[in-house]
Amino acid sequence: MKTKGYALSILSAVSYGLIPLFILPLKAGPLSLDSILFYRFFIAALFIWAGLVYQKETLKVTTSEWFHLMTLGLLFSLGAEFLFWSYDLLSPGIASTIFFVYPVMVSVIMAFFFKEKISKLSLILLGITMIGIGIISSKNSSFDINILGVAVSMVGALCYAIYIVLVNKADIKASGLKLTFYTLFFASAYYFLKVLLFETSVPLPDPKTLLDITLFGLITSVVSITALVYAVKLIGSTLTSIMGALEPVVAVGVSVSLFHEKLTFNLILGIVFILAGVTANMISGGGQHEVAGN
């Protein structure tokens, strides 16, 4: 069972790390980013809904759960929005690596707002992680940090960290699959409203673009989230989160090999610091918070 859990956690991390492979060509196409993300989340929600139907699970939730689920959908949407904005300000590889600090943010939030103990070791590891962010965000060999790019990526990570905390702390009785469906559904509703407010209509993609978006939603949302949910059940949230360290590694690999991002010394050193800080923090017990989505 553990072998299956490790395999699923790796599948989840790798599929989510492939985001640059899909989003960069789509952003260069005719659709706006908001339209792309609307279709991505809506199509992904349809796949999850089909899974619920197959399992004969209803979509019924209580009135109070509706509010919590809408909040989760909004946080998930904002996490994606800031992440993709940071792609333009930094680069997909750098932005994805900085975004990976969210497990550390979860630990800090739990310590400050829910009185969970945070050890001195965790504080030291947090410092190591911040050093990594400083290194990876530097231009060339200097420490001329792109402050806006780092801030945007960090805000995205914070939104996702709050999402994870609420998944654990909110009074939601829904299964992981149902929670994922509503997260994706409300995320798609968020981008649908954005398109209507700022673009007047939601353009229909051509067949090729629709296929690309469908693969985008299927691989980076449906496969990633479903594998994650079952990995958590098999090996627990901590080990699953540790395997999530593959996400930025895959993103950097895709960006370097396919989109000509430079593999600089700062990038390599920053990745080492961030992954070391985050992973050691989770191993030491600072990251034991169950994740229900990605």
How far apart CA 63 and CA 61 sit, in angstroms, is: 7
Six token digits for residue 83: 């992440």
In a domain, 16, yes or no: yes
User: Residue 293: its pLDDT value, please?
Assistant: 42
Q: Confirm if 252 and 271 have CB atoms less than 8 A apart.
A: yes
User: Residue 90: its pLDDT value, please?
Assistant: 83
User: Residue 53: its pLDDT value, please?
Assistant: 92
Look-up of token digits 């001195």:
120
Six token digits for residue 130: 């911040």
How far apart CA 108 and CA 119 sit, in angstroms, is: 11
In a domain, 36, yes or no: yes
- pLDDT profile of the chain (294 residues), mean per 10: 80 87 88 92 94 89 86 91 90 82 78 73 73 69 71 92 80 80 94 89 85 93 81 67 73 83 79 77 55 43
3-class DSSP state of 93: helix
Residue 195 amino acid letter: V
User: Residue 242: its pLDDT value, please?
Assistant: 64
Q: Confirm if 292 and 176 have CB atoms less than 8 A apart.
A: yes
Rg (CA), the chain: 18
In a domain, 22, yes or no: yes
Domain that holds residue 180: 2-286
User: Residue 170: its pLDDT value, please?
Assistant: 72
User: Residue 138: its pLDDT value, please?
Assistant: 65
In a domain, 173, yes or no: yes
How far apart CA 230 and CA 2 sit, in angstroms, is: 11
Buried/exposed 164-174: b ≥16 CB within 10 Å, e otherwise: bbbbeeeebeb
In a domain, 294, yes or no: no
User: Residue 8: its pLDDT value, please?
Assistant: 86
Residue 236 amino acid letter: G
**Neighbour-count burial of 64, counting CB atoms closer than 10 A to its CB (0-12 exposed, 13-18 middle, 19+ buried):** exposed
Six token digits for residue 78: 């904002």
User: Residue 211: its pLDDT value, please?
Assistant: 93
How far apart CA 63 and CA 137 sit, in angstroms, is: 44
Domain total in the chain: 1
User: Residue 228: its pLDDT value, please?
Assistant: 77
In a domain, 292, yes or no: no
* H helix intervals, the chain: 2-17, 19-27, 33-54, 63-89, 92-99, 102-113, 120-136, 147-169, 176-199, 207-217, 224-235, 237-243, 246-259, 265-281
In a domain, 293, yes or no: no
User: Residue 276: its pLDDT value, please?
Assistant: 81
